[in-house]
Amino acid sequence: MQASVFEQIYAIARRIPYGCVATYGQIARLAGNPHWSRVVGYALHVCRDSSVPCHRIVNREGRLYEGFGPMGSETQRICLEAEGVEFLPDGNVDLSRFLWDGELPDAVQ
């Protein structure tokens, strides 16, 4: 079951548009269980598939993940800034402007 849950999370993450972010909780809800935020985090942490844009997922406040990539949250920030995502003075992503609306054009299986 774990592999199928992770694949579902990865499928949803792949749908986050360029220049947008989603939250762990948002991905969990779209995967069918709003209590899976930590599962989402773990799935992304162990993901080695470069087609999954893990850098586009942040916490509910827009905070970046310290354990991301070789330089931690700085790597994630560089990736997001390259896509045009802007940050607030506190270092969090401006969710009011860059949060994905969660629309899934096709059903995620």
CATH of the domain at 52: 1.10.10.10
Q: pLDDT class for 107, splitting at 50, 70, 90? A: very low
The domain in which residue 34 lies consists of 2-98
Q: Is residue 105 part of a domain?
A: no
Is 14 within a domain?
A: yes
Closest CA to 40 of 69, 17, 65: 65
Each residue's pLDDT tens digit, 64-92: 988 777 778 999 999 999 999 999 999 99
Question: CA–CA separation, 46 vs 105, rounded Å?
Answer: 27
Confidence of residue 57 (pLDDT cuts 50, 70, 90): very high
Task: Classify residue 106: in a domain, yes or no.
Answer: no
Is 48 contained in some domain? yes
Task: Find all residues with CB under 8 Å of 96, minimum gap 6, and list them.
Answer: none
Find how far residue 28's CA is from the centre of its chain: 10
103 in any annotated domain: no
Structure tokens of 2? 């774990």
Domain count, the chain: 1
> Which pLDDT tens digit goes with each residue over 15-49?
999 999 999 999 999 999 999 999 999 999 999 99
